A and B are shown apart, each in its own frame.
Chain A
Amino acid sequence: MKDRGEAVLNKRNGFTLIEIIISIGIVSFLSVYLLQIFITAKNLNEVTYDLDNAVIVSKSVMESLSAGEKIGPDSDDIILKNARKLSDELIYTVKLGDDFQPVDSDFVDSSYIMNITLDLVDSSELSNMGLYNISVDIHREKLYFLKSSQNKEVYALNASKGLLLDIGGDTSD
């Protein structure tokens, strides 16, 4: 039996069974790692999409606030309209969907969370205005493809602006 196996390997022309089996084994072993490269490339695109959109959305919130838009249901800006305060502190939260637009319903899981933090630095009752340090940060809730990390901060933007002291509107606590 052994002699015949050796004879097949050494003296035969053409492909042999063992050769094929070994090649298939090597290909299947290596293809796992090769496919990981493609998955990484796809995930990099996903991260890039997140960052690009997060920058644009954070900027638009800053610009809206700079123009004097209010935060809350009576605002004209789509994103600020959906901002909700979760506690007594001046931190507003907006749930964003896959396209970085606000999701209305509480039943739908949001893909991203935006937090708008207002930190009052100076205030003047005369003009009903206060100088706020505004911080807009965006976190990602949904998972990346085949990765387990979650709730990662995508982008944070800080600016100081003079805003109306009643920027939050008449929302009762």
Chain B
Amino acid sequence: MEGIVELMKKNNKGVSKVEVILVMILILLMGLAVFTLVVSSSDTYKNVIDEKENLSNLRIAASYIDNKIKQSDEQSSIYIKNNPINGEASIVIVQRVDNENYETWIYLSDKMLKEAYIKQNQEFADDMSFDIASIEEFVPSIKDDIMEITISGNKASDTFSKRYLKINLKSNEG
């Protein structure tokens, strides 16, 4: 009881100890609030950027595959084959340039969609190819005249999503 009264006595500058303590507590609270705000805004920023990155990767992959196939739909020119690097299904597009057959391989390796442009039957390695986009899953297949491709982004992230592409290969008809 006496201690509390002691705290409330004003010293010679006109400020009591209780006032000082209260203000210190308020300063602390304000510091905490400011710190929380800054941390939460930086976390939000990181989340927004990660989500945008995921969307961007999937969009680039989907758009690239779609463009590439629509620009090369000729008879017997597009098929699915296992690539020599990791044995997974990949898209092969054959083009004839200057009396030579060239193959474009679109495949997934090391969580990266890659494209390699080589002469037909040439052995190729990862370092000969160009990176397209960073995705985790790439599964192409052809059923009747329709090419179906499943791509999906980073599995560990909160914004994981899949895309199912369908392209009609009209020139395989007939």
Contact = CB atoms under 8 A, between A and B. Distances in A.
Whether A and B touch directly in their complex, counting CB atoms under 8 A apart, is answered as yes
Contacts, number: 76
Given A7-B14, A17-B19, A42-B48, A63 B167 contact: yes
Given A17-B22, A45-B52, A66-B170, A24 B30 contact: yes
Residues of B contacting A: mostly:
helix
B162 A8 contact: no
Interface in B142-174: 144-146, 161-168, 170
A151 interface: no
Interface in B1-57: 13-15, 19, 22-23, 26-27, 30, 33-34, 37, 41, 44-45, 48, 51-52, 55
Contacts of A77: 166
Interface residues of A, number: 31
A27 B37 contact: yes
A20 B26 CA distance: 7
Interface of B: 13-15, 19, 22-23, 26-27, 30, 33-34, 37, 41, 44-45, 48, 51-52, 55, 58-59, 62, 66, 144-146, 161-168, 170
